[in-house]
Structure 1
Amino acid sequence: MRVHLFSLSFLAVCSTSVANLLGPVYPAPRDLSSKSSRVAAGWKALTGRLHSETSSGSSLLKNLTFSVGLFSIHDSAAESLQFHYTSSEIQNAPNGTRKVDGDSIYRVASLSKLFTVFAAMRELNSEQWERPLTEVIPAFAEYVKSRANADSVYSTPWDQITPSALAAQISGVARDVLPWDGGDLLLQYAIAILAGLNPVPAAVDPATYGLPPVDLNDALSLSPCLANVSEPCTGPLYAGGAANDAPVYLPWTSPAYSNNGFILLGLALANLTGKSLDEIYKQSIFDPLDMHSSYSAVPGASEFPRSVIAGDFTSGFGYDGGISKSSGGIYSTTNDLAKFGTAILNSTLLPPVTTRRWMKPVSHTADLQYSVGRPWEIYRYKHAESGVVTDLYTKLGDAGNYGSFLVLIPDFDAGFSIIGASALATRSNATSLLADLVTESILPALMEQAASEAKKNFVGKYTSDRLNTSLALDVSPSGNPGLSVTSWVSNGTDLMPLLGILLGNENSRLVPTIVSQGTGQVAFRAYTATQEKSGGLFQRNFDVNDWIVVGSGGYATKSLAEFVFEVDVQGKASRVELPACNVTLHR
């Protein structure tokens, strides 16, 4: 898998910015698909752009077959917002579909890793997640026992690596291991020898690079899985070869992408559950979510008429990766990915607290725009006008003739998927360009729609029928999003001149912090986004870290900054409770 950072308005490291709380500034929008929705309008503009791009002979997208789809936990009709384009390559392909749609089956490459982690979350308990691999995979126990005093530079400490570390890409294990290490020069040399090439091409001859000769008959030179290429590579054989590979880092040092790590996670998952990976995916994900167009093995011939087959069938769509499927062997469709993404956001198969814990960074990279989770690639999108940061929980895939993105946006309870196929070398860049175009169109539209719905659902005057107490709210300007207090009277006292004392600043705004689906309540907190000042890293601490002071200030143990709204099934508020004032106001 190749990793591409989005090229749009992500966090500018040196720019002056307004500090905000991490999370939504409005409740998630519920209408993404109607004619009046800003999101639908944004989607229409996007499809116009895509039509233009795919009609241009110079566009990267011209030669990419792709499917794009939106989804939301609040608006099932959002899944109808799809765009499909079939390049001439697929239109004229000897096998498979010649016109893609929401039910077209693609390989999704490393997006498979997200399926593997999700399945493991369904199957494993907390103790199993943290169990050393030496207690799960016998080959690693044997290796550690035989190398008790080995140099940690060359010997992977398998007794310190857990399924959790593998899932978070922070185990430090080798990125790729034979036989799935196409970049290994010795493997390329061996293939040339077996093919009878004489002389061996200089590009794959180790002597070209001054490397010492290696005996191809030496069992340690190549993977045990290559000793008999006519036999499948089994878990024990693969682990026996992987055990000898040197680490990239020690565990929990720094994130390092590893396809090998996810093959090992699949082996661990199978060993811990006593099930095959195919059984696990089917029982834990595909069947419960009615994902009947998704597969963990090459689909049967009856599915070929709706399969996207780019390039050579045997080495591409029809390649059976065996135990490597946990790293990159899943097949799926736009419609099934919508079911999968919605289920994650909606905690359909996991407890909500588990989902919230899962959708957080485990580590950061050296780039301030990018963090890593299990197995999330987390992009930090910055809204141009307000500086608000929206984290995009992403898993992308990029291998062979196929690329994919599944992007979840928890702040908006929505997301999108992209699947692409092409045998051309431009496929990877084209798929990333497509992800940029979708993000540029949809993220601002989601924010606009959330603000529009907040105005309809929360703005207005709230009063008491027994006290001289009232509260009036409006939507803040788009550069400083949230709800603003425009009038506040408590027991006959005008509190507007006192907002700076009560809420920390007269320009405080209300943002949602807790949405309780079960009770129909939404808790907002008032806070003031501070403007970053010049100064050193520590001098700026309170200017850029509003999370330090959120929730401070109260009366009789209750926060003065808390506003709890009661909403109906459409999200429309009917009243607000002010806990510190011990009063409920009706809209």
Structure 2
Amino acid sequence: MAGLSLSSVVSAQSNDIPYSACPLIGTYYPPPTFSRSSEPFKNLSSEFTETFNQLIEKGGSDVYGPITANTTSFSVVMFIGAESMMEDPTIFEYHYTSPQYQLDMGTNLTSDTKFPVGDVTMVFTVYAWLVEMGETWDTPITQYLPELEKASSSDGVAWKEVTIGSLAGHMSGLIRQTFAKKLTVDPFVFQPDTTPMVSYTAFQLLAFALGRRSGVDGYSIVLKDAILDPLNMTSSGLLNPDMKDIFASMDLSMTQQGEPAALSLTSTITDLARAGNAMLNSRLLPPAATRRWLRHSVDSSNLRNGVGRPWEIYRSGRSAIAPILDARAKSGSMGAHYASYFGLVPDFGVGFAILAHDGGNDRNPLDLNVYADVVSEVLGRLQSMGAAETAARYTGTYRGGSNDYSVAVLNVTSDGPGLAVQELRVDGVDMRADTARQLGISSVADLDFRLYPTNVHEVDSHTHQFVAVFQDRSAPVDAGTPTCITWQEAGAAAGVEYRFVFNLTEDGMAGEFGSSSGGFSLERAA
């Protein structure tokens, strides 16, 4: 390692890493239109049904790994966030009941079968907090539970340093499980806001504060009033000893329940789809609050896995420079027999849930990685569908009048996402050449000029804004290293147009393309 310089690393990488477009994160293509009757979605459903069928038949796969089909029962659902489909947001579901359970119980899993969801409960505790209390992330917990301020603490940590955001985002530094004596003596493992670490105690404190502030006796009532009733989650609630309608309830030990606000929700695939739909379309929260809630907060030691409030952020992408898709998920377990996943992908307005039980597992927690990996393949398919729909809706030639003095040619390409501006002339001026000159790019052939969709669009006037990202294909920063700094440069060049607008027809097809400043407007050629 001695003598290895940064320049030699860059030089080595420049020979190995081809140029790749560097889009603004999460803006690669507009989300595809969701319709159960469309051929792409029919094909998607058919393909994934066959994938799960093959997993069960072969006990796993070389790609995803092994599963225990003889003892593991599971349900999978994918749902969308469209408000128009809030009553039935499901676009794909799959249910499998293991031979062992069928032999023992004689019943099969359905979309209304109840499971304990374990740690997924945390999502609903934070959701209830946002609905009832708002975005009080920076408020100390002592404002709601002042008696904590009088409690002694280890290593000089004061309870007033623990905020609602640190409790909700796994950053409180508190011990994992609640013990009254520990809370008054040495509850802190780390100083708050140091490193992410799961604490069930944190969510129980949120529940205590919710109940006190709401004037309601009991977290279960707060949860019911804030979330379950408004979203018609009629099959969901908190575990109690009298519950007999849980799947394989003979394997459920109430001693595993722990802190109710962290672990004890029971739900169904149907109810989780309703909840996910409501979260994605901001039915119970202001849209701005939803956007902030679903953002990445801090990193874990694996840069592919971030941490949110209380999300586990899973980041997919083929390489260091590649379109990155973030799934906000929460995994859960209840002892060794039950496991769950609940996730949202806001960039596409979709989500998923997995509920599972393994009757032959008594020691190690049930692992859902294989099932989750299959579901994650959908993200790549959705991006491909988005690219295909973008090509149909936006690509082509746009002209200003009957001559070639004003013309734009937009296309999708294999070397990057978005819309590549392959030609742009306005009143005879070559805007690509002019842009390259103003950006100091020596050759217009080296200019990568792409448009990416923003989430600023006027539904009533049928307009959709895109933003331009300019890159120099010959620049070492892009050609040789994984550095990606276009987010710092968008709109930075004075006099270079970087916001563009499409006017859409009633069927969602682009009819006109122009600059947001009104500098030009071109009609799409038939």
Q: TM-score range by the shorter chain?
A: 0.7 to 0.9
Distance in structure 1 (CA, Å) of the matches to 2:507 and 2:167: 41
Q: Which amino acid aligns with 2:488?
A: I
Aligned runs of 1:124-523 on 2, under 5 Å? 124-126=133-135, 128-143=136-151, 147=152, 152-153=154-155, 156-178=157-179, 238=180, 241-275=182-216, 276-298=218-240, 304=245, 307-313=246-252, 315=253, 321=257, 324-383=259-318, 387-400=322-335, 401-423=337-359, 424-425=361-362, 428-439=365-376, 441-465=377-401, 468-477=405-414, 479-501=415-437, 506-516=447-457, 518-519=459-460, 520-523=462-465
Please name the residue that 1:106 is paired with.
115
On the 8 A contact 2:78/2:351 being kept in 1, the answer is: yes
Runs of 4+ in 1 over 6 A off after TM superposition: 530-535
Q: Which amino acid aligns with 2:261?
A: S
Quick one: which of 38, 60, 67 aligns to 2:67?
60
On the 8 A contact 1:361/1:372 being kept in 2, the answer is: yes
Residue 238 of structure 2 aligns to a residue whose secondary structure is: coil
Please name the residue that 1:551 is paired with.
491
Please name the residue that 1:193 is paired with.
none
On the 8 A contact 1:459/1:474 being kept in 2, the answer is: yes
- Which 5+ residue runs of structure 1 have no aligned equivalent? 1-12, 179-237
State TM-score, norm by structure 1. 0.75
1:120–1:518: structure 2 CA closer, same or farther, 3 Å change rule?
Answer: farther
The structure with the largest strand share of the pair is 2
Question: Cα RMSD between the aligned structures?
Answer: 3.2
1:395–1:300: structure 2 CA closer, same or farther, 3 Å change rule?
Answer: same
State how many pairs are aligned. 489
Distance in structure 1 (CA, Å) of the matches to 2:228 and 2:199: 25
Please name the residue that 2:25 is paired with.
22
1:80–1:31: structure 2 CA closer, same or farther, 3 Å change rule?
Answer: closer
User: How far is the alpha carbon of 1:246 from its aligned partner?
Assistant: 3.5
Q: Which amino acid aligns with 1:549?
A: E
Residue 507 of structure 1 aligns to a residue whose secondary structure is: strand
Q: Which amino acid aligns with 1:106?
A: F
Please name the residue that 2:9 is paired with.
none
User: How far is the alpha carbon of 1:407 from its aligned partner?
Assistant: 1.6
Quick one: which of 44, 47, 50 aligns to 1:48?
50
Matched, 1:73 2:81: yes
User: How far is the alpha carbon of 1:491 from its aligned partner?
Assistant: 1.4
Q: Which amino acid aligns with 2:190?
A: Y
User: How far is the alpha carbon of 1:328 from its aligned partner?
Assistant: 0.9
1:533–1:583: structure 2 CA closer, same or farther, 3 Å change rule?
Answer: closer
Residue 39 of structure 2 aligns to a residue whose secondary structure is: coil
Residue 170 of structure 1 aligns to a residue whose secondary structure is: coil
On the 8 A contact 2:357/2:366 being kept in 1, the answer is: no
1:552–1:112: structure 2 CA closer, same or farther, 3 Å change rule?
Answer: same
Q: Which amino acid aligns with 2:123?
A: L
1:427–1:100: structure 2 CA closer, same or farther, 3 Å change rule?
Answer: farther
On the 8 A contact 2:89/2:277 being kept in 1, the answer is: no
1:68-92 deviation per Cα after TM superposition (whole angstroms, max 9, x unaligned): 1111234847714111111134324
1:339-376 deviation per Cα after TM superposition (whole angstroms, max 9, x unaligned): 11121111121111111111112211122111111111
On the 8 A contact 2:59/2:68 being kept in 1, the answer is: no
User: How far is the alpha carbon of 1:582 from its aligned partner?
Assistant: 2.3
Q: Which amino acid aligns with 2:25?
A: L
Please name the residue that 1:31 is paired with.
34
Please name the residue that 1:83 is paired with.
94
User: How far is the alpha carbon of 1:325 from its aligned partner?
Assistant: 1.7
Q: Which amino acid aligns with 1:438?
A: V
Residue 27 of structure 1 aligns to a residue whose secondary structure is: coil
1:50–1:521: structure 2 CA closer, same or farther, 3 Å change rule?
Answer: same
1:312-341 deviation per Cα after TM superposition (whole angstroms, max 9, x unaligned): 34x15xx7948x221011111111111111
Distance in structure 1 (CA, Å) of the matches to 2:227 and 2:383: 31
1 or 2 for the larger relative contact order (CA 8 Å, sep ≥6)? Answer: 1
Distance in structure 1 (CA, Å) of the matches to 2:274 and 2:511: 32
Quick one: which of 506, 512, 523 aligns to 1:575?
512
- Which 5+ residue runs of structure 2 have no aligned equivalent? 1-12, 61-65
On the 8 A contact 1:157/1:250 being kept in 2, the answer is: no
Distance in structure 2 (CA, Å) of the matches to 1:566 and 1:386: 31
Q: Relative to structure 2, which stretch is displaced further, 510-519 or 63-72?
A: 510-519
Residue 222 of structure 2 aligns to a residue whose secondary structure is: helix
Q: Relative to structure 2, which stretch is displaced further, 514-523 or 253-262?
A: 514-523
Distance in structure 2 (CA, Å) of the matches to 1:78 and 1:386: 33
User: How far is the alpha carbon of 1:57 from its aligned partner?
Assistant: 5.0
